[in-house]
Amino acid sequence: MMRTRPLKVALLGCGVVGSEVARIMTTHAADLAARIGAPVELAGVAVRRPDKVREGIDPALVTTDATALVKRGDIDVVVEVIGGIEPARTLITTAFAHEASVVSANKALIAQDGAALHAAADEHGRDLYYEAAVAGAIPLIRPLRESLAGDKVNRVLGIVNGTTNFILDAMDSTGAGYQEALDEATALGYAEADPTADVEGFDAAAKAAILAGIAFHTRVRLDDVYREGMTEVTAADFASAKEMGCTIKLLAICERAADGGSVTARVHPAMIPLSHPLANVREAYNAVFVESEAAGQLMFYGPGAGGSPTASAVLGDLVAVCRNRIGGATGPGESAYAALPVSPMGDVVTRYHISLDVADKPGVLAQVATVFAEHGVSIDTVRQSGKDGEASLVVVTHRASDAALGGTVEALRKLDTVRGVASIMRVEGE
C-alpha cells in the first residue's frame, strides 16, 4: 500500500547533473512513487545564480540559501551535486543533524572525509549513499559493498576517467600527440577548459580511494593513493606499446597484498596487452575489473560521466534511501573493520618498460644489464636500434618493486653511455 505523504527532497546544485536529476524526478514521478512506495517531491533547489532560467523547475523552489534549505526540518533526503569540499561538507553534516539522509556525487569529498561523514550519518541514524561518485552510471559501489559483501575482493583494476580514456584512445587510433588529442577532447566537450583534475590523475585517484576503502574494508584516503598523470605519454610510447602487442591506459589499481596484510591504491598510465578487455574500452567509456576469491573476475562497463548517466546513479541511490526511510531502516554504512595498512608505492611489484637513449658503441648493453642485475631487477626482453653514434635501448623487466626499479634508473642515469631516460611505463594486466 502506498503512503500518501510525499518524501521531500532538497537538491543542492542544478548544473548538468542536478538539472537532469530534477527532470527525471518530474517526468518519472509516477514510476518513482510506485518503486519507492510513496510520492517524491522536489521541495527546494539551492543554486548560486537564481536568475538563470531552469526549464521544468518551479522558480519558487529556487534559493541561494542552501543552509536554510537543509535546516528546514521537513526534508527527508538531501541530494548534493555541487562538488568540492566546502560548502558541501558542512551542508551534508548539517543535513544529518536535521534528520535528513544524503545522496552525493562528490568523489573528492568522499575520498577525503568519507569516514567523518559516515560517522555523522551513523550518529543521526541516516543514510549516506554515493554511487554516482565513481564511474557515473556504472553500478559499482553497491555491488562492492552489498553483492560482494560475503566475498573477499583482492583487486580492483579499471579505467575510471572518460576524459583521459578519450585522449589516450585518440592517440592510439590516430597517432596524434598528447596536445592534439587534448584539443580534440576539449572541442568535443569531453575535457574541461582546465583539464588538470583529469589528466593529472586527481579525479581517478579520488575514485580509487573510494573503491579501495569499500573493497578492502579499510579506510583509504586520497592522500594514500599514488598518483601519476598522463601528460608525459607520447606517440613514441604508443609505438613501443604496439610493438609489444599493447596499448596504454590510465588505470586505477587497488590491490590486496599477496599475504593479505596490506593494500595499495595507485593511479598511473600503464601498458596493457591488446588481449585484455580493458584495451578495447574506447572513447570516453569507463570499465572496471573486480577480482574476488569466490566470484572470480567481474567486469563493469559503461558511460562514466555526463548528465544523464550520473543522474541515473543519483536516482538509483535516491530510490534506495527513500525505501529505507519508509521502512525506518538504514542501508550499509562504512565498513572499515579490516583496518589494513596502506603500503607505499615503493612496495608495489609490477613489470616495467624502460626506454633509454644510449651511445651506439660496444659494451653499452652489458653495462646496462649489469646495473639491472646489481639492483635485483630481472630483464625479460631487450630491443636496441640506432645509427650515427646514438641508439635507443628498450628494456622490459620481469616483475620488480617500484623501489628497486627507482634505484636502477638512478644508477642508469649516472652511466656515461646513457644519454637519458626517454620514458618509463608500467606494464599491467598480465
Q: Cα separation of 167 and 198, whole Å? A: 11
Between CA 427 and CA 247 the distance in angstroms is 10
- The secondary structure of residue 338, as a DSSP letter, is T
Question: Does the annotation count 207 as an active-site position?
Answer: yes
Closest among 112, 117, 91, 92 to 102, alpha carbons compared: 92
Residues sharing a CB contact under 8 Å with residue 123, sequence separation 6 or more, in sequence order: 96
Alpha helices, DSSP H only, in 124-161? 141-142
Distance CA 361, CA 345 (A): 35
Which residue matches cell numbers 518530474?
A: 26
User: Please, what's the largest Cα pairwise distance for the chain?
Assistant: 86
Cell of 137: 552510471
Q: Cα separation of 129 and 320, whole Å? A: 9
> Is there a contact between 286 and 138 (Cβ–Cβ < 8 Å)?
yes
What's the first-to-final CA gap in the chain, in angstroms?
Answer: 53
The pairing of strands 296-303 and 226-227 is: unpaired
Q: Which of the residues 207, 242, 249, 414 is marked catalytic?
A: 207
| Residues with catalytic function | 207
